[in-house]
Chains A and B, each alone.
Chain A
Amino acid sequence: MPDLSDISDFIKRIMAGDQNAGARMIRLIESDDPQAFELLRALYPHSGKGFIIGITGSPGAGKSTIINGLITQFRKKDLKVGVIAVDPTSPFSGGAILGDRLRMQTHATDEKVFIRSMASRGHSGGLSRATRDAALVLDAMGYHIILIETVGAGQAEFDISFLAHSVGIVTVPGTCDGIQAVKAGILETGNIFIVNKGDLADAADADISLHQLTQMIAMGKDRRTGWKPKVLTTNGLTGDGLTELATAFLDHHEFMITNHLFEEKRKEQETLYFTSLLRDLTLKKLMAFMENSPEYKEVLNKIGSGEMDPITAAELVVKQMRK
């Protein structure tokens, strides 16, 4: 673990883009280290410049490979790129295999690229609890673009839309007919839709997916911002369509800046940041308090012996807390 005897020096190193320092700070955040708060507070005023792009979609749709291609595109424009790639934690062992990096190894030694794999650690919603703060660190380190890959998402893992300025949803041909495209949930959150692996399907199949997505989405312009979502086809492996995809994201960035949506998002973020932090801290404090109370242990024993059902027990503990 880092030598934190001189915090201001550590912060200076992070802001100068020192990858070793940045990575160790993210590790502190992830481990719930008490010092992480102080560090985050010091970095916070230096964040808010980076463009955060979320890439989500079902497992195996090609999210990592597309991110790999996007890194290449953004590097051509001499932008510094940070990546946070989230994979699921095992509900049984608590362990994880983080394999997204494998597909981004082309950029491993480019010192203007920083890739951090992260396990979801029991957090639902497609991200881990530490993702937001890790993005803040990358932002303060001076990465212009921060790409966040969610865990393979189904229909309701849309936490990324609260964090990212722009959300790209990756899909493959044959999975998205007209009615899927208008369901509530994840598809509402997309700013850019990516139909990947066009080569695997019948050309006709890919066309149908593209056509149906385009039609349904074209009707549903984002009412809040006025941005009209784009639908693009890509082939992550050959790189086809990735130049256009990178341009689409940068166009969306431009759109947000011009329409003052970037600042608006920041304000929205601050409130969300505060409330979710408050919830975390309150829950932690409250649980610690209750777990130490005699009632808690008594009730736990009664549940174990079959004397009390869990519903009555939970109600009872909360009631006692109010006193």
Chain B
Amino acid sequence: MENRIRVLIAKPGLDGHDKGAKIVALALRDAGFEVIYSGLHQTLEQIIAAATQEAVDVIGLSIMSGAHLPICRKLLSMMMEKNLADIRLVVGGVIPFQDIPALKQMGVSAIFPGGTSFEDINTGMKALFDPER
């Protein structure tokens, strides 16, 4: 058994649009990732618990609500606190370009705003585990 990359896909908060998250999950499956799909309306506590129990390599959040900055900041600090600092956090959804530097600076590993191709998502995800980087 080889070591497959495990990804938790979650939608934090109250926004109810999960088609994007599901389609990305499917694209990741087709690219060879193991995707744990945890669905809508996740609290950050639920996301932390799922990431812990599932021992994932990546948490992928789909956010369309505009709250990506505070959500990512809070989740990253919870990850530090819960001994999950080795997990990469990536974000997709409705993310304005001007927010990308701030997200990167707080420690989000990759950002895939709406319109990113599946190919770019797959390449970006695999690049996170490229030892050359």
Interface size on B, residues (CB 8 A): 33
Which candidate, A97-105, A179-187, A250-258, is the interface stretch facing chain B?
Answer: A97-105
Give the interface size class of chain A.
Answer: 20 to 34
Asked if A24 is an interface residue, CB under 8 A from chain B, the answer is: yes
List of B residues within 8 angstroms of A90 by Cβ: 29-30
Which candidate, B59-67, B79-87, B103-111, B113-121, is the interface stretch facing chain A?
Answer: B79-87
List of A residues within 8 angstroms of B25 by Cβ: 97
Query: Interface 1/0s, chain B 90-115, versus A by CB < 8 A?
Result: 00000000000000000000000000
Check if A116 sits within 8 Å of B53, measured CB to CB.
Answer: yes
Known: A1-B86, A94-B4. A108 touches B49 (CB 8 A): yes
List of A residues within 8 angstroms of B4 by Cβ: 94-95, 119, 121
CA distance A42 to B34 in the complex (A): 29
Check if A95 sits within 8 Å of B1, measured CB to CB.
Answer: no
Check if A121 sits within 8 Å of B1, measured CB to CB.
Answer: yes
List of B residues within 8 angstroms of A119 by Cβ: 4, 34
Asked if A117 is an interface residue, CB under 8 A from chain B, the answer is: yes
Query: Interface 1/0s, chain B 24-39, versus A by CB < 8 A?
Result: 0110111111111111
Check if A20 sits within 8 Å of B32, measured CB to CB.
Answer: no
Check if B52 sits within 8 Å of A95, measured CB to CB.
Answer: no
Check if B53 sits within 8 Å of A115, measured CB to CB.
Answer: yes
Give the secondary structure class of A's interface. Answer: mixed
Check if A23 sits within 8 Å of B54, measured CB to CB.
Answer: yes
List of A residues within 8 angstroms of B50 by Cβ: 101, 108, 115
List of B residues within 8 angstroms of A96 by Cβ: 29, 34-35
Hey, which bits of chain A sit against chain B, CB under 8 A?
A: 1, 19-20, 23-24, 26-27, 30-32, 89-90, 92-99, 101-102, 105, 108-109, 114-117, 119, 121, 129-130
**8 tightest A-B CB contacts, nearest first:** A95-B29, A31-B3, A27-B55, A23-B55, A108-B46, A102-B39, A95-B32, A98-B36
Listed by A's residue number, 29 A-B pairs whose Cβ atoms lie within 8 Å are A1-B86, A20-B84, A23-B52, A24-B55, A27-B6, A32-B2, A90-B29, A93-B32, A95-B31, A95-B32, A95-B33, A96-B29, A98-B36, A98-B37, A101-B38, A101-B50, A102-B38, A105-B39, A105-B46, A108-B45, A108-B50, A114-B53, A115-B50, A115-B53, A116-B53, A117-B36, A117-B54, A121-B1, A129-B1
